[in-house]
Structure 1
Amino acid sequence: MADIILLQSPPPKLEEVQKNIFSKAAKDFLVNLHREFDSKIDLLYKNRLKRLVDLQTRPTLEFKKSIERNDKTWNIAPLPTRLLNRHLDLGDVSASNTAHFVSALNSDIQGIQVDFDDGHCPTWKNQLVAFQNINLALKGNLPGAPLSISTCPVLMLRPRAWNMIEHNILIDGKEAIGPLVDFAILMFHNGQRLYEANSGPYFYLSKLEGASEALLWNEIFVWTQNELGLPQGTIKACVLIENIISTFELEEILYALKEHSLGLNCGIWDYCASVIAKFGERKEFLLPDRNKYVNMDRHFLDSYLRLVVATCHARGAPATGGMAAAMLKPGADVNDKHSKEIINKILDAKLKEIEAGVDGFMVYDSRVVPYVNELWKKNGDTPNQIFRKFTTNITSADLLTIPSGGVTLQGLKHNVAVSIMFIYHWLAGIGHFFYNGYVEDSATAEISRTQIWQWIRFSPPLEDDPTQHVTAKLVEKTVASFAAHAHKNLCRSNAERKRLTAARYMSTELFLSRNPPEFITSYLNDNHKFRTLHNKALLSNL
């Protein structure tokens, strides 16, 4: 018997949705998946802790000397036709935002990052709406969306990362694992339909820490395909290389997912935050102002991108770049001077990635899609660039040498603002927001709050005024100043003022923490404030 309890009552008007999403058969499948892999996931968590402790005593990381790395004869399995061209995806598309999801489905792109991770806030309502919208879209019943799966972009489903627990579901007396819930529900309701339409199921896998975690996902794929009667190798997954440890195990990650691999992807801000998470207590890893000194032109990030591309192409796999987060102003004419400047900035950055050999990348703003498509036509008229092979001799030092540069007061103010505003929006049930012309999500919040924590720890001088150093007092002054500004210009209700106050003090807690959590989303998801705002537990009625 399936021992599963949903701790949430369905939100208003979603009673039937919850009943259909979590049907008896779906719940049975979810329970069986958990029972099959629960012990292995517990071991994954223990291995992460052990690895972190080991890194405190080990001076650096080195590339593995594995059999799969030394064997130059293997490639990933051939890709389906729809995956041979991955030039452009829209990123951070939470299917809980129906209008945004429908707009993405109608865009002239190859894929959509259907996001349950960085750009999505996993309230119970958001989860139900997202699952339902995906189901409707694949049945051709979502108003305004294409009627056929084959005529819309490929859905690249991104479940939550391993750090996320689903507090709203108990299985065998234990809280469920966030990514397993997302994966199970998406596969149970849509796997067969996507397979029959030659359109999936395809996934992005976030925040993996090494090849052992890729191997675990591969085992989950094999088990799921057996359970659902799908041919082995049907599921394909692109791994986001967002963790410094994974950069040293690229070959092994591709091999672990060999039959199910869809290559690798680069994500700059989560990646930089992982460097701080693993090595941030050592002064030689003090990361300078990210807006001024940290970009893909810097040697440690350029080396990372080149290594991902070279490794993927050597194994017949596509390599995709990051997301262009710059936004045009709402309602702006794409031909006005400011819009052209933004578009040209995006195109310049993406041209560099194309020249580096990437096979695709993401943008957020669908208004820039025609310009990016034209860029590909001019500079990459083949479906992909896997035929371009690169010889690299990238060392550990290339990847771990932090760029020179200082800290600016403007950089501190920006990081404070992004940290506070991300928490503010998360408490409102929103996973990403717009600030100063950019879309901000958990990745930018992650690097923002970890940088501030690190700057407080080492108290570097400000470039603007070398007599002044970053201190807890300066950070608190900056926090108070931004909070006062936001209170005046953002908050219109008592609820908003309370959320802002909570966001202010929660971000300060992260900045000052002796041992900060590795993931801001874990901190928020597990926090009583967030759970109180969005949970209406049924335990008293059970």
Structure 2
Amino acid sequence: MCDSHGTPKIRGTMHERYAEILTPEALAFVAKLDGVFAGRRAELLAARRERAREISAGADLDFLPDTEHIRSDAGWQVAAPAPGLERRRCELVAPANRKMAVHALNSDADVWLADLEDSTAPSWDNIIGGQLNLFDAVRGNLTYLAADGAEHAASSQHPTIMMRPRGWHLCEKHISVDGRPISASLVDFGLYFFHNAQRLIENGAGPYFYLPKIESHKEAALWNDVFILAQNQLGIPQGTIRATTLIETLTAAFEMDEILYELRDHSAGLNAGRWDYIFSYVRTFAQRGPEFVLPDRDKVTMTTPFMRAYTDLLVDTCHQRGAHAIGGPAAVNPTRQDEEKRHRALAIVRAEKEREAADGFDGCWAAHTAVIETCQEAYASILGSKPDQRDVRRAVNATAYDLVSLHGTVQTISLEGVRTNVSVALRYLAAWIGGRGAVAIDNLMEDAATVEISRAQLWQWIHHNSQLAEGPQVTRELVERIIDEQMAGLTRGLDDTTSARYQGAREVLTEVALGDYLPGFFTPYAYVRFLIDRPLRMSGPLDPEDLRQSEHVQSVSHAHSAA
């Protein structure tokens, strides 16, 4: 089936049933993808870094002049919705662990976004265990044993499954080719597609995906070529794969037409990934002037002008091209609040989702099963019996200035905002080091994006000596004192194992928020320090090149066709 492109080597521990996923044939398929696309991936990641340097040096973001013909051509459309994706009013995003998978498949969501990315801590067990759970789910064999001994099974009538692989910037250290860690994106996509694509088609749906952390249409084009090659290799008709692209980076917001165009035969629309988008705004302009400094993160909402411009443009772009526009997550976790607070939380969700639907979105995300009904009702109040509102068009004229401007935004930073960023980051990171990627904190379901916003804001505030509403400036010394205070409170009375996780969380936060250099993401460093199997962990001081080993491709491929 596959030509030889280097022999993949499993470096992670083989546990029960792992051999069902890590078969020689599946690994050869992944190696084929790596052999064709690893060099191009490395080039695009290098281009990301170069563009980031240019923006930091003062280059302005704007719509691309050399793709204006794509934006101005009203004649092209993306493919019609695929089977099982006609209605997407509420999509539940949840990790692919066994318990959450059963709950997701028994829910009233239209789609289960089985997440191997931000809501999964990417340990070897979580990644391959997640693949096993998806393997069983697709075949109707998914069950889990509850603490009380009761066995729960997934319903035969369940939401459509979409899978989110890890982003292009991440590697999988437990599988190598020619001694080089392999792309995490290709591992996640390749194993899932190889084992499940045909069965999903037989079940009446297909292999559907969410694409995270895209920063340009060229990265979308790379995914499209991966899809073409994968379908060719397994004899699956072209266009069977469908993928929704998360617009969660600032640069991608300027290339939404182009991203849809590159993926048009495989596109399932765009999603407004708001938390990551806010993080991307901070990261993109972290070294620019104070005019780009955001206030406390809870003050940046979907009605903040630059966020409003981005979402309005996303909906208009999607509907012009016949694509679904999917809104952001309802992150409230109302299950452990008293009844009055629970109803108040659900009322907030309802108002948010009604506004979203009124703005033209075709559906939204939910981060907890407890809010699915509210999301469904909110969208029904606007859409009625229609499956979507792709026929709705509004006059939108979002300029490049609108997409980046903080005009009218009160840029107030408070001491409580600094404390919140430190506290939430430490709590999430401690759970992440312990293997959990979806964490309930202060009645919100948080994922990795929460840490990214929090630590990037801390770095930016320190870099610009931003002044607090209370008077003092934000300095490294101030943040370190707050970390000390938070650590003392958070670790009081904990056992040694949990305390050690908090110490690891402090190490990660110090590395990615308090140094001279702002890393693109916290995950590469934290992954090699804490989540990979112990014999493979990197020790001692690490520099960025240590974290880019998967990009050290001996012979960079320039073959941009997957035929």
- 2:444 equivalent to 1:438: yes
Distance 1:483 1:313 in 2: 48
Deviations 1:280-321 (A, max 9, x none): 111221111111x20001100000000000000000001011
CA-CA distance at 1:531 after TM superposition: 3.2
- In structure 1, the partner of 2:557 is none
Describe how 1:250-399 pairs up with structure 2 within 5 A.
250-282=256-288, 283-291=290-298, 293-330=299-336, 336-381=339-384, 382-399=386-403
Describe how 1:428-507 pairs up with structure 2 within 5 A.
428-463=434-469, 465-466=470-471, 468-488=472-492, 491=494, 493-507=495-509
Preserved CA contact (<8 Å) 2:354 2:381: no
Describe how 1:167-246 pairs up with structure 2 within 5 A.
167-246=173-252
Deviations 1:239-291 (A, max 9, x none): 00011000000100000001000110011121111122221111221111111
CA-CA distance at 1:536 after TM superposition: 8.8
CA-CA distance at 1:405 after TM superposition: 2.2
Preserved CA contact (<8 Å) 2:170 2:184: yes
Distance 1:535 1:362 in 2: 36
Preserved CA contact (<8 Å) 1:313 1:386: yes
Letter in 2 for 1:359: D
Letter in 2 for 1:172: D
Letter in 2 for 1:454: Q
- In structure 1, the partner of 2:532 is 531
| Higher relative contact order structure (alpha carbons within 8 Å, sequence separation ≥ 6) | 2
- 2:45 equivalent to 1:48: no
**Cα RMSD between the aligned structures?**
1.6
Preserved CA contact (<8 Å) 2:360 2:389: yes
Letter in 1 for 2:322: G
Preserved CA contact (<8 Å) 1:299 1:398: yes
- In structure 2, the partner of 1:78 is 80
CA-CA distance at 1:43 after TM superposition: 1.1
Preserved CA contact (<8 Å) 1:139 1:147: no
Name the SS for the 1:514 alignment partner.
coil
Runs of 4+ aligned residues of structure 1 deviating over 4 Å after TM superposition are 532-537
**Structure 1, unaligned runs of 5 or more:** 538-542
Deviations 1:34-67 (A, max 9, x none): 1111111111122112212222334311112322
CA-CA distance at 1:153 after TM superposition: 0.4
Distance 2:326 2:240 in 1: 21
Name the SS for the 1:258 alignment partner.
coil
Please, which moves more after superposition, 217-226 or 365-374? Answer: 365-374
Name the SS for the 1:199 alignment partner.
coil
**Structure 2, unaligned runs of 5 or more:** 144-151, 539-563
CA-CA distance at 1:535 after TM superposition: 5.6
- In structure 2, the partner of 1:540 is none
CA-CA distance at 1:532 after TM superposition: 5.6
Deviations 1:176-198 (A, max 9, x none): 10010000000000011112222
Please, which moves more after superposition, 374-383 or 161-170? Answer: 374-383
Preserved CA contact (<8 Å) 2:422 2:483: yes
Change (3 A) 1:74 1:426: same
CA-CA distance at 1:356 after TM superposition: 0.5
TM-score w.r.t. length of structure 2: 0.90
CA-CA distance at 1:228 after TM superposition: 0.8
Letter in 2 for 1:102: V
CA-CA distance at 1:432 after TM superposition: 2.2
CA-CA distance at 1:147 after TM superposition: 5.4
Letter in 2 for 1:384: D
- 2:405 equivalent to 1:401: yes
CA-CA distance at 1:374 after TM superposition: 1.9
Distance 2:197 2:334 in 1: 36
Name the SS for the 1:169 alignment partner.
strand
Name the SS for the 2:492 alignment partner.
helix
Distance 2:351 2:536 in 1: 45
What is the aligned residue count? 520
Change (3 A) 1:188 1:532: closer
TM-score w.r.t. length of structure 1: 0.93
Q: Percent identity?
A: 34
Distance 2:436 2:11 in 1: 21
Name the SS for the 2:508 alignment partner.
helix
Name the SS for the 1:83 alignment partner.
coil
Preserved CA contact (<8 Å) 1:121 1:429: yes
Distance 1:494 1:34 in 2: 41
Letter in 1 for 2:375: V
Deviations 1:469-527 (A, max 9, x none): 211121111111111111115x2x21211121121132122221111211111221233
Name the SS for the 1:488 alignment partner.
coil
Deviations 1:338-364 (A, max 9, x none): 110000011111111111000001111
- In structure 2, the partner of 1:138 is 138
- In structure 1, the partner of 2:100 is 100
Please, which moves more after superposition, 401-410 or 70-79? Answer: 401-410
Distance 2:399 2:256 in 1: 14
Distance 2:361 2:263 in 1: 20
Preserved CA contact (<8 Å) 2:335 2:370: no
CA-CA distance at 1:422 after TM superposition: 2.1
Distance 1:505 1:172 in 2: 32
Deviations 1:187-218 (A, max 9, x none): 00001111222222110000001100000000
| Counterpart among 69, 89, 92 of residue 91 in structure 2 | 89
Letter in 2 for 1:474: L
Name the SS for the 1:82 alignment partner.
coil
